[in-house]
Chain A
Amino acid sequence: MAGVDPAEVVWQVGDAPGDLFGHDPLPPDPMRAAFSVPRAFVDLAQMAILHRDPERFALLYALLWRLRDRPGLMEDRADPLLRRIDALAKAVRRDIHKMRAFVRFREVADGDGARFVAWFEPEHHIVRANAGFFVRRFASMRWSILTPELSLHWDGETLNEGPGGARRSDAPDGDPVEALWKGYYAAIFNPARLKTGAMLSEMPKKYWRNLPEAALIPDLIAGAQAREAAMIATTSVAPRRPKDVATAWAALRDDAMGCTRCPLHGPATQTVFGEGPIDAPLMFIGEQPGDQEDLAGQPFVGPAGQLFDAALAQAGVDRSRAYVTNAVKHFKFERQGKRRLHQSPDAGEIQACRWWLTQEIALVRPRIIVALGASAARAMLGKAVTIAATRGAPIPLANGAEGWVTVHPSYLLRLPDAARRAEEQARFVAELRMVGARLTALA
């Protein structure tokens, strides 16, 4: 090393016109001060020097200069200069990798049979460094890779380098197999999971013009949402055989029997699943099974259930046509002596159990869903609401059904004041009557 401080050096590639001041004669090389550098430096320099950044030589020389005094510097990966050169090397490695990925050969026939020719535009000076890969991979093939800077030709035995200056039009402009490849590209894409950002970060647009399949991308993206919607639509439009729904419901119920999605399954006796005709136009969602329901395994059989039945009869709604279920399907309680006292489920438990409710709604497809109480309303709407603000009027739901919110019958049972209770009960019955009327209107 000639002992010239990095700040004093001007770099120039070949005969290219260099820096304005780059005309001093080269310094004599008197010191011949050889010193050894770590292997890591050589490896890094080999990569970084392929970068097209004109500063690369100066940066590497500066690093070399510092290495003479501090041989451990290569280990200091947080050093700003080393970081910068690391970044150059990383960009080069990525470019090498992308060339291996995105070179596309096209077949041409010449006198000696098939030949494969590709046109590629790398970002850095990587073509020569990458030749070995293509030789190893396509050893028995005859191929050429043309790039603006350099061309590579392999005849099955030796690799020849040709001059740069090639243009895209020097490569063949098509290959019949490309139609198959494009067909494959379009078919393997799943329109239900569009993630264009992820695609663009790995396959930036600058590569697109040399990738035959990239021409399809805009249409695939545009058609994706329509295709996913069509998939879902075919399900809701297609006539379902009642037998299939019955099988599906029974399987779902069996599955729910073993549910451990939240801790409530531990102390409870059993899962209390929904009940009723699986093509019911009307669905009621309660809060959770109580003491008696937990033992019986059926919803709405305890005191609140009896009150509910009476109110339905008064309102003229046919309970046998309704599907009855709960927001939470295990009994939550606190033990006090021999009694198990009801405890309201929390948001997490409702959320955990909502999976089952969503499945039940998807199978039964009721026209009207009535949420009894705040927990049920939360399960139906997916957010916390107050009963006072939501009761008495229909709420359109995402699946097309009509939602209603009213009180839970056990609320009526807990009201101590008889007059107040009678008043609330009348309101409850009135709201059920409204639901009944809506049902007739919708039918």
Chain B
Amino acid sequence: MAQLSTRQKLEILADAAKYDASCASSGTAKRDSRGGKGIGSTEGMGICHAYAPDGRCISLLKILLTNSCIFDCHYCINRRSSDVRRARFTAQEVVDLTLNFYRRNYIEGLFLSSGIIRSSDYTMEQMVEVARSLRQDHDFRGYIHLKTIPDADPELLRLAGLHADRLSINVELPTETGLKRLAPEKDGGRIEGAMRHLRAEMEDGQDARRKYKSAPRFAPAGQSTQMIVGADAADDRAIIARASNLYDRHRLRRVYYSAFSPIPSPSAVLPLKRPPLMREHRLYQSDWMMRFYGYDAGEIAAATDKATGCLPLDIDPKLAWALNHRAIFPVDVNRAPREALLRVPGLGVKAVDRILTSRRQRRLRLEDVARLTTSIVKLRPFLIAADWRPLALTDRADLRARLTPPAKQLDLFA
């Protein structure tokens, strides 16, 4: 086979990496390149340097070290039995690409993942070498996210955490049976074991830094994971319960949901069609509700359809929850505590905080609330303001229909 050029390899290995949804580069330690030999800075908020026509942010150079793999996971384009073209970067090539892209302000850093070749340890070693070289040989201070291989030696995981801002291990499928069916060589127990291990390392690192300012940081941007939605039979209720579990047990920063996407030359075990992207969107909304709005997984489950176990696609889960719990509404903007205001559909965290400071100054009228939010129509039935009471509106039987955006033709087999 002819030698592949760097560009060809980059295209193959970026193509293979795009099924990972995460491209976040925020929430890590603040640092910059002043006084150093190299380049790079992280200032809290990540930056999306471009957006692809799929609407996804491009913040990091997201590639695989190689797309060869000894595993045969059915949902994965890189599985052993797939006939995609294979390529492999050397550690040096990835380092050069990262720096070249970074210097031109294309990226915030690197997200490196890999197919497993030879052994888990060998593969992990190569990935750690890329991060080490960036940090030590080039004094690179930008963002690094390393995908971690659950079976790799703990010492390698420790090294990975010293160089990287974020580590991640994908649980892949929300249910154990799904994992068994679609990724027969992966082991749910080992995946969670590795997450537990990383959590312990992170907490040790934080303890050490409380005692000694100079103690090295371990993965300051924490760990994350990804679940594929729609490739197995798990309903939204099961997915939300699993996510909530993962947040609690392993202190994950983020759970990503990736609507199963058709891949070239897929395995016969897979569904042919993707689930509606809206389903993924609703899961992200429910995730936000858990992380920022104070709902627990059980409460969100109450917003799912009883028979299908899935969140409604036509309205958002916060509205669905409110429609099922009308007794607690309307809420008085001038009196209600923060937690109650956060439950009002259409009020975001920022709007609630602004309401709280504003009402210390004066009693708020409906038009004041309108100025703080995007759509007052959606809010009105759930609020009391100085000059507004929804009266019977909150309890109207057709409230759902009034608040549902006009239906679009749905794809019958979507």
Residues of A in contact with B (beta carbons under 8 Å apart): 72-73, 75-80, 83, 97, 100-107, 116, 118, 133, 135-141, 175, 177-181, 183-199, 202-203, 211, 213, 217, 220-221, 224, 228, 230-232, 234-236, 238, 240, 244-245, 247-248, 251-252, 254-256, 258-263, 346-349, 351-352, 355-356, 358-359, 362-363, 382-383, 398-399
CB <8 Å contact, B53 and A262: no
Q: Nearest CB to that of B60 among chain A residues?
A: A188
* Interface membership of B51, Cβ < 8 A: yes
CB <8 Å contact, A240 and B104: no
* Contact among A135, A188, A199, A346 with B17 in the assembled complex (CB-CB below 8 Å): A188
* Contact among A101, A177, A185 with B52 in the assembled complex (CB-CB below 8 Å): A185
CB <8 Å contact, B262 and A228: yes
CB <8 Å contact, A180 and B100: yes
The 8 closest A-B pairs by CB, nearest first: A348-B307, A198-B55, A195-B55, A78-B368, A136-B32, A77-B354, A189-B52, A187-B14
Q: List 7 A-B contacts (CB under 8 A).
A: A101-B47, A104-B104, A139-B36, A186-B11, A220-B53, A261-B308, A262-B308
Chain B interface main SS type: loop
Report the minimal beta-carbon distance from A213 to chain B, rounded to whole angstroms: 6
CB <8 Å contact, A101 and B7: no
CB <8 Å contact, A358 and B33: no
The CA of A272 and the CA of B257, in the complex, are separated in Å by: 31
Report the minimal beta-carbon distance from A255 to chain B, rounded to whole angstroms: 5
Report the minimal beta-carbon distance from A35 to chain B, rounded to whole angstroms: 19
CB <8 Å contact, A137 and B41: yes
Q: A190-B54, A195-B55 are in contact. List 8 more A-B contacts (CB 8 A).
A: A97-B45, A104-B104, A105-B105, A228-B262, A235-B265, A262-B307, A355-B233, A383-B412
The CA of A136 and the CA of B103, in the complex, are separated in Å by: 13
* Contact among B32, B106, B271 with A359 in the assembled complex (CB-CB below 8 Å): B271
CB <8 Å contact, A183 and B104: no
* Interface membership of B274, Cβ < 8 A: yes
Contacts of B232 in A (CB 8 A): 255
CB <8 Å contact, B48 and A78: no
Stretch in B217-225, B282-290, B358-366 with 4+ CB within 8 Å of A: B358-366
Contact A187:B55 (CB < 8 A) given known A135-B34, A248-B267: no
Report the minimal beta-carbon distance from A379 to chain B, rounded to whole angstroms: 12
* Interface membership of B62, Cβ < 8 A: yes
CB <8 Å contact, B39 and A348: no
Report the minimal beta-carbon distance from B285 to chain A, rounded to whole angstroms: 15
CB <8 Å contact, B272 and A362: yes
CB <8 Å contact, A187 and B10: yes
* Interface membership of B212, Cβ < 8 A: no
* Interface membership of B269, Cβ < 8 A: yes
Contact A139:B39 (CB < 8 A) given known A116-B104, A254-B181, A262-B308: yes
Contacts of A193 in B (CB 8 A): 54-55, 259, 261, 274, 277
CB <8 Å contact, A107 and B104: yes
Contacts of B358 in A (CB 8 A): 75-79
Q: Nearest CB to that of A346 among chain B residues?
A: B307
* Contact among A139, A211, A213, A258 with B34 in the assembled complex (CB-CB below 8 Å): A139
* Interface membership of B156, Cβ < 8 A: no
Report the minimal beta-carbon distance from A60 to chain B, rounded to whole angstroms: 19
CB <8 Å contact, B36 and A140: yes
The CA of A383 and the CA of B36, in the complex, are separated in Å by: 65
Contacts of B40 in A (CB 8 A): 137
The CA of A244 and the CA of B34, in the complex, are separated in Å by: 58
Q: State which residues 46-74 of B face A: CB under 8 Å.
A: 47-58, 61-62
The CA of A179 and the CA of B6, in the complex, are separated in Å by: 11
* Contact among A73, A107, A136, A236 with B41 in the assembled complex (CB-CB below 8 Å): A136
The CA of A383 and the CA of B254, in the complex, are separated in Å by: 37
Contacts of B62 in A (CB 8 A): 188
Report the minimal beta-carbon distance from B113 to chain A, rounded to whole angstroms: 13
* Interface membership of B37, Cβ < 8 A: yes
Report the minimal beta-carbon distance from B210 to chain A, rounded to whole angstroms: 27
Contacts of A133 in B (CB 8 A): 41, 43
CB <8 Å contact, A188 and B39: no
Report the minimal beta-carbon distance from B71 to chain A, rounded to whole angstroms: 16
CB <8 Å contact, B269 and A247: yes
* Interface membership of B117, Cβ < 8 A: no
Contacts of A230 in B (CB 8 A): 264
CB <8 Å contact, A138 and B33: yes
The CA of A106 and the CA of B264, in the complex, are separated in Å by: 35
CB <8 Å contact, A139 and B266: no
* Interface membership of B169, Cβ < 8 A: no
The CA of A228 and the CA of B263, in the complex, are separated in Å by: 9
CB <8 Å contact, A398 and B371: no
The CA of A84 and the CA of B219, in the complex, are separated in Å by: 41
* Interface membership of B203, Cβ < 8 A: no
Contacts of A118 in B (CB 8 A): 105
CB <8 Å contact, A261 and B52: no
* Contact among B12, B18, B413 with A398 in the assembled complex (CB-CB below 8 Å): B413
Contacts of A251 in B (CB 8 A): 181, 269
Q: Nearest CB to that of A103 among chain B residues?
A: B105
Contacts of A75 in B (CB 8 A): 357-358, 360-361
Name the residue in B181, B267, B269 with the highest tally of chain A Cβ atoms < 10 Å from its Cβ. B269
Report the minimal beta-carbon distance from A303 to chain B, rounded to whole angstroms: 28
* Contact among B103, B362, B371 with A141 in the assembled complex (CB-CB below 8 Å): B103
Report the minimal beta-carbon distance from A103 to chain B, rounded to whole angstroms: 5
* Interface membership of B4, Cβ < 8 A: no
Contacts of B308 in A (CB 8 A): 261-262, 348, 351-352
CB <8 Å contact, A352 and B309: yes
The CA of A184 and the CA of B58, in the complex, are separated in Å by: 10
Report the minimal beta-carbon distance from B56 to chain A, rounded to whole angstroms: 8
Q: Nearest CB to that of B8 among chain A residues?
A: A183
Report the minimal beta-carbon distance from A349 to chain B, rounded to whole angstroms: 5
CB <8 Å contact, B57 and A202: yes
CB <8 Å contact, A78 and B269: no
* Contact among A80, A180, A234, A352 with B265 in the assembled complex (CB-CB below 8 Å): A234
Q: Nearest CB to that of B273 among chain A residues?
A: A232
* Interface membership of B268, Cβ < 8 A: yes
Q: Nearest CB to that of A256 among chain B residues?
A: B233
